[in-house]
């Protein structure tokens, strides 16, 4: 009986490494294979996005409304942005970023919306072109702006990285936005 146990143990010791090697090879082979359900997952994502758009939880990227009034409130004051549609994807805009009672950036110009990308051109002083993103709710100015944009700002103020939230749709809302030095930012 002892001889049989030893033979059986040796039998397991011989086949166990082979079994684990085969198992590891099968698992590694499976890692390189494309999952058969990828098409189903993509269609599920699309239908989930459609449901969220219909419920108003996310903005429909094909129907973004940009004309209106934007704000961001902080302890330093209220940052303001407004946009009035002129034609197609073109808008007249106004912007005010405040950094306390005396420090600010303020200007007016035009903007062009291409999907979620926004190109803002301030033109009342030195030419200034700023890139931004708008997702239907949040307007975010890039963190790096050209040096010429500083002509729209007082000392220690910058448009770099400023953020505005869409608060009211429409031309009337945009025309109601008041600046500090500019009476109506959008007219």
Please tell me whether residues 101 and 52 are part of one structural domain: no
In a domain, 186, yes or no: no
Please tell me whether residues 151 and 115 are part of one structural domain: yes
Please tell me whether residues 36 and 89 are part of one structural domain: no
Q: What is the pLDDT of residue 123?
A: 85
pTM over 0.75: no
In a domain, 180, yes or no: no
Q: What is the pLDDT of residue 51?
A: 82
Enter the tokens of residue 142: 């890039």
Please tell me whether residues 19 and 107 are part of one structural domain: no
Q: What is the pLDDT of residue 126?
A: 87
CA distance 30 to 6: 36
In a domain, 149, yes or no: yes
Q: What is the pLDDT of residue 64?
A: 75
In a domain, 183, yes or no: no
Please tell me whether residues 127 and 170 are part of one structural domain: yes
Domain that holds residue 73: 65-175
- Alpha-carbon Rg for the chain, nearest whole angstrom, is 30
Domain stop point among 61, 79, 97: 61
Please tell me whether residues 69 and 57 are part of one structural domain: no
Q: What is the pLDDT of residue 57?
A: 72
Contact 48, 30 (CB under 8 A): no
The CATH number of the domain holding residue 152 is 2.40.128
In a domain, 148, yes or no: yes
CA distance 187 to 178: 10
Please tell me whether residues 39 and 76 are part of one structural domain: no
Please give the average pLDDT of every successive group of 10 residues along the chain, which has 187 residues. 50 58 62 55 72 75 84 94 94 96 94 94 90 94 95 94 96 96 92
Please tell me whether residues 169 and 84 are part of one structural domain: yes
How many angstroms from the chain centroid is the CA of residue 149? 23
Please tell me whether residues 148 and 78 are part of one structural domain: yes
Would you call 154 exposed, middle or buried from its count of C-beta atoms within 10 A (0-12, 13-18, 19+)? middle
Please tell me whether residues 135 and 163 are part of one structural domain: yes
Please tell me whether residues 96 and 165 are part of one structural domain: yes
Q: What is the pLDDT of residue 20?
A: 64
Q: Which residues of 106-118 are buried (b: 16+ CB within 10 A; e: fewer)?
A: bbbbebebeeeeb
């Amino acid at each position: 009986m002892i001889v049989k146990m030893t033979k059986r143990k040796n039998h397991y010791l011989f086949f166990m490494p082979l079994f684990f090697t085969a198992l590891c090879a099968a698992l590694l082979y499976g890692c390189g294979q494309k999952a058969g359900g990828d098409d189903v997952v993509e269609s599920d994502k699309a239908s989930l996005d459609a449901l969220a758009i219909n419920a108003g939880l996310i903005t429909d990227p094909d129907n973004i409304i940009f004309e209106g009034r934007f704000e961001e409130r902080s302890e330093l004051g209220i940052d303001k942005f407004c946009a009035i549609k002129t034609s197609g994807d073109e808008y007249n805009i106004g912007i005010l970023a405040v950094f306390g009672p005396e420090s600010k950036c303020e200007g007016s110009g035009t903007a062009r919306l291409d999907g979620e990308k926004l190109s803002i051109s301030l033109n009342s002083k030195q030419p200034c072109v700023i890139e931004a993103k708008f997702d239907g709710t949040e307007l975010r100015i890039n963190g790096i702006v050209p040096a010429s944009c500083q002509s729209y700002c007082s000392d220690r103020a910058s448009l770099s990285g400023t953020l505005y939230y869409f608060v009211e749709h429409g031309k009337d809302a945009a025309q109601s936005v008041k600046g500090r030095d500019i009476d109506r930012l959008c007219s």
